[in-house]
Structure 1
Amino acid sequence: MNQFRVFTRWRPLSTSDSPQTEIKRKCEEHANSRISMSLVPPTKSIRPWTSEAAFTHVFEATDHNKCVFDAVVAPTLPEVLKGHCCNLFAYGHSGSGKSHTIMGYDFSNPDEFGMCLAAAHHLFEKLETLNEGNHAAALQLGIGLRMYELRNKTAFDLLNGRSSCHVREGYDGQTHIRGETEVLENGKVRVRPVVTKPCWSFDDFRKELLAGLALRATGTSTVHDQSSRTHAVLELEIVTRALLDVRDAVIERQSELVPVAKRATDIYLEENVKGVVQTPEGKYIPNPDYQIDQARIDAAEGQKAEFESFVKKAEDHVEEIMRSSRHDCLGGKLVFVDLAGSEYYHDKAASVSRPKQSAQEQQEGRQINTDLLALKEVIRARALKQARIPFRSSPLTMVLRGHFMGSSTVNSHSAMILTVSPSSEQFAATMNTLKYGNLVGLAGGDKTAR
C-alpha cells in the first residue's frame, strides 16, 4: 500500500522566545524506515509523550529550505511532468514556520526559496527544454497559477482582488469554485471559476505569486496578533495558451446556454399552467378551453438541446487538446495547501494561560477541527482503497477532491510538512501539531492496513 509521507520541521528559537528552556526531544528510526518522536514536557506535572512510527523524516532547525525541498517536493516533480497531480500540505500553529517553508521570505535567492517558488523554478527549467524547437505560441508550455483561501464554505480568489467565490457540487458530481454571477447582454449569464494566471516565465510566476500573497488575510485574535484562520490553496498547473483558450470557450458556451435553457423552462411552465384549471373542490384538471401548444414546447427544447450540444462540443475540444498534446505533462498539477492550525485548545500541557475565546473564534475553531478531521479520514480511506471516500465531509475536502482523484498513485506522491516550535512556551501547540501528524501518518501508512 502507498504511504502518505509526513515530515516534521523544527524551526530555530526566535528572539521572541524565552531563552530559558527548549523542548527536549528524541527521534528513533524503526524497521519500516519511519520515525517515532518523544517529547519531554517542561514540567513534571505533565506526562511525556511518544508518537508511533508515523514520520518519514525530521528536519532540524539547521536544515534550510533547499534541504527540505530536495527531500519533500523534488521527488514529486517527475510525477507532475507525467501529467499527475501531487499534493503538499503544511500544518502548524502560527509562528511555527509555515510561511517560511511554503512561501519563503527571500524571493531572489534560489537557495532560500519556499517550496512553491522553488518548485516553479525547477518546473520552468524543465519546460524550457520541452519548449525548444516548438515555435507555435499557442503550444508553448507554461504554468497556470491559481491562489485562493477557504473560510468555512467561501473561497476568496487571491488573484482576482480577493473576490468571494462559492463552493458548490455540480450536476457532474465534481466540486466547483465559482465567482459571482455576471449578467451580460442578450440575457447571457456567466459564472467564472477561480482565475488562472498564465505564467510563461519564472519572473512572471514570481510576480503573480507576490501579488496574491499581498492579499492573504490575517487578523488579530485572542490567541495570536497575526493569525490566519483560513486554508490557503496554491495550484500550479502545466498549461498552454491553446488549453486556456478552449477552457474559456466552454465558459462562453455555458453563458449562451443559460438564457436559452431558461426560456425553454419558462415556456414549458407557461403552457402547462394554461393547460389546467382548478375545480371548486380544489382539484386540478385539464383545461377544456386551452390546448397545450406542444410544438412551442418542442421548439424551445430543441433550441436548448442545440445549445447544450455547443457546450458539449467545447468540452470535447478541451479533452482533444489534452489527448493530442505531444507532452504528457500538460495538465500536471502541484498543489500546496497551507492548512489553518487548530490553535484554540484547552490542554493541561499549556505552559501559559490562554485568553477566553470570542464566539467567532469558537465557531472558526470548530470548522477548522472539522476540516482537519475530514482530511485525515480522506487520507485514511484512500490508503485503504475504500469504495467510498468521504470528500463531502467538509468544504476543504470537497475542494481537494479533484486534486486527490487526479493522483493515480493514491498517497505515495502526497505529503504533509508539520512545522513546530522548539520553545517550551509552545509545548502544547507543538505537541498537538505532532499528534495530528501522528494520526495522519498512521492513517496513510501500513499500520492502518493491518
Structure 2
Amino acid sequence: MPPKTAQKLAPFDVYVRWRPLPDEPGTTSIEKSTAESGDYQSVSISQPASSSSSSRGTRSWSSAASFTRIFEPTDDNKAVFDDVVSQAFPRILAGKTCNFFAYGHTGSGKTHTIVGYDHSDPSQTGLSLAAARALFDKLAQLNESLPPDADRESERLAVGLRMYEVRKKSAFDLLNGRTECHVREGPDGKTHVRGETESLEGGKVRVRPILIKPCFTYDSLLESLEAGLALRATGTSTVHDKSSRTHAVFELEIVNNALINARDAVIERHSELVPHGKHATDVYLAENSKGYIVGPDGKYMLNPDYTIDQARIDAAEATKREYEERLEAAEAHVQQIFASSRHPCLGGKFVFVDLAGSEYYDQKASSSAAASKQTAEERQEGRQINSDLFALKEVIRARSSGQARIPFRSSPLTMVLREHFLGSEGGFSAMILTVSPAAEQYAATMNTVKYGNLVGMAGGEK
C-alpha cells in the first residue's frame, strides 16, 4: 500500500505495526483482517479456536476506522520512517515540534521501531536515528548557505540530543550519568525537569535541567545515543528478558552554539540570583521578627523597643532586583536569538517516546499465569505504568476536543511531555502501535489495538 502523500494530517495520527510471527515450533497466528473507510483503516482480530491462551471470554474484536495506516510484518523500519516521520520535516524546518510515540506490550517491537538494534542497516535503523541522519543532511545544506559575513562558530546549525527516561515519579538523565531529576511545576505554570541542587562557590546554587548535547555530525550523535542507551533501566520480567521498565524520551532539537550558550547563561544567572533572593528573604524575616512582638491580647503589635530597619530591607531587595533583571535579560537574549536567526528551523524538535511495555496495562487479573508470577515491585511499576498510559490517552482526548483544561498533572509522564504537546501547535503527533500476531499474545494485542483505537478516535475527525 503506497504512502498517502496527499492526505491531510489529523491532529494525532495512529498507526498499527504488526511484527513478524516468531519463528518457533507450534506458534499459531491471530486471524486478522483490514478494511478501509475513506482515508482511514480498521482492523479486526480473532483468536484461533485451537489456541490454548486465555482471552478472558473474548474471541474476536474489531476497531473503528481510526488508523492512518496498518503496516504489515514485511514492512521494515525504513517503510515506517518514509510514511510516518518523513512528512514531518517541513514542520520541523519551520521550527515546530513533532511527537512520535511507540505503544505496545513488551517484545512487540517498540524499541526496535524507535531506536533499532542494527544501526548500520538503513532498513533496520530506528525512527529516531533515521530522523537524525536525514536532519543532518538538511542542516548541511542550510549551513552551506550561510553568507560569508556569518559567524559560523555561533550560527552553524547542529542537532541537540536529550535522552532521559521517566520511571515512577522521577526522570533520569541518560546523557549525564543517569542523574535523577525531579519533575516539578514551577510558579510560571511550566513543568521543569531538573537535577539535584548543586552548591557552588560564592553561595551560588545551581539546578541543572536535562542535559542537551550539541552534535555536529551523525557519528557523534550515534556515539552519544549508544552511550545513553547503555544506562537505560531494563531487567528480566515475567514477560521479557529485557523488559523496558521506563518511558524513554529522545529529543532531537535544531540548535546552534549561540542558542546553547544563551541557555547556559540563563542557568548561570539563576545560580547567581538564588543567594541574593535568599538573603533578601532572610533580611525581611529578621527585621520583622524583631519589629513585632506578641501583645497582651495574644496579637502581634509593633515592638516599642525596636525600629524596623527599612533601609536594610530595601537594600537587600534592590540587590535581588538587580540579579532578577540580569536573569530577565538572559532570558530575553534567548528569545532574541530565535527572532534574529537566519533560519526559522532553530528550535524545531523531534520527540520520540518509547513507552514502557503495556503488558502491565493488561494484566489486572491475578488469576493470569503471568500476573501471578509478578514480583511486588513489578506490580507497583505496573500500577504506575497503567496510570501513565491512561493519563496520556486523556491528555490526547482533552487536547483534541478543545477542552480548556488539559490534565497534564495526572502523571509524571504527561507532566514531562506537557511542553512538547504545547509546543506542537502547527506540528504533528503520531502513535505507532506495535503488536504481535502470535495467538498466545492475543489478549495483549487486543488491548493494544483497543487503546490505539480510543487514541485515534480522540485524536481527530475520522
Q: TM-score, normalised to structure 1's length?
A: 0.95
2:45 maps to what in 1?
Answer: 39
- Cα distance, 1:342 vs. partner? 2.7
- 2:67 pairs, out of 19, 40, 55, with 55
Deviates more, 1:70-79 or 1:129-138: 129-138
The SS at the match of 2:175 is coil
Q: Is the 8 A contact 1:236 1:334 kept in 2?
A: yes
- Cα distance, 1:220 vs. partner? 2.4
The SS at the match of 1:131 is helix
- Cα distance, 1:279 vs. partner? 3.4
Q: Is the 8 A contact 1:347 1:428 kept in 2?
A: no
- 1:278 pairs, out of 271, 287, 294, with 294
Cα distance in 2 for residues equivalent to 1:316 and 1:328: 18
Task: Give the aligned residue type for 2:45.
Answer: L
Task: Give the aligned residue type for 2:438.
Answer: S
Q: Is the 8 A contact 2:77 2:124 kept in 1?
A: yes
> Is residue 2:138 matched to residue 1:123?
no
The SS at the match of 1:14 is coil
- Cα distance, 1:421 vs. partner? 0.8
Q: Is the 8 A contact 1:6 1:56 kept in 2?
A: yes
The SS at the match of 1:295 is helix
2:37 maps to what in 1?
Answer: 30
Q: Which runs of 5+ in 1 are unaligned?
A: none
1:202 maps to what in 2?
Answer: 218
Q: Is the 8 A contact 1:351 1:425 kept in 2?
A: no
Task: Give the aligned residue type for 1:244.
Answer: I
1:424 maps to what in 2?
Answer: 439
1:318 maps to what in 2?
Answer: 334
- Cα distance, 1:18 vs. partner? 4.7
CA offsets per residue over residues 429-450 of structure 1, 9 Å max, x none?
Answer: 1111111111110111215xxx
- Cα distance, 1:351 vs. partner? 9.0
| Mapping for residues 312-351 of structure 1, pairs under 5 Å | 312-344=328-360, 345-346=362-363
1:147 maps to what in 2?
Answer: 163
- Cα distance, 1:133 vs. partner? 4.2
Percent identity, aligned pairs only?
63
Task: Give the aligned residue type for 1:42.
Answer: P
Residue 57 and residue 93 in structure 1: after superposition, are their counterparts in 2 closer, same or farther (change >3 A)?
same
| Mapping for residues 207-356 of structure 1, pairs under 5 Å | 207-344=223-360, 345-346=362-363, 354-356=371-373
CA offsets per residue over residues 388-419 of structure 1, 9 Å max, x none?
Answer: 21111111111111111111237xx1100011
Task: Give the aligned residue type for 1:7.
Answer: Y
Deviates more, 1:231-240 or 1:372-381: 372-381
Q: Which runs of 5+ in 2 are unaligned?
A: 1-8, 51-56
CA offsets per residue over residues 357-391 of structure 1, 9 Å max, x none?
Answer: 33322222121111111111111122122222111
| Mapping for residues 397-416 of structure 1, pairs under 5 Å | 397-409=414-426, 413-416=428-431
Cα distance in 2 for residues equivalent to 1:398 and 1:89: 16
Question: What root-mean-square deviation, in Å, do the aligned CA atoms of Structure 1 and Structure 2 show?
Answer: 1.8
- 2:122 pairs, out of 91, 110, 116, with 110
- 2:451 pairs, out of 429, 436, 448, with 436
Cα distance in 2 for residues equivalent to 1:97 and 1:362: 22
2:99 maps to what in 1?
Answer: 87
- Cα distance, 1:354 vs. partner? 4.1
1:192 maps to what in 2?
Answer: 208
Cα distance in 2 for residues equivalent to 1:276 and 1:353: 65
- Cα distance, 1:278 vs. partner? 2.3
Residue 278 and residue 391 in structure 1: after superposition, are their counterparts in 2 closer, same or farther (change >3 A)?
same
Q: TM-score, normalised to structure 2's length?
A: 0.92
Q: Is the 8 A contact 2:106 2:239 kept in 1?
A: no
1:374 maps to what in 2?
Answer: 391
Task: Give the aligned residue type for 1:21.
Answer: T
Deviates more, 1:360-369 or 1:319-328: 360-369
Q: Is the 8 A contact 2:239 2:370 kept in 1?
A: no
Aligned residues, how many?
A: 442
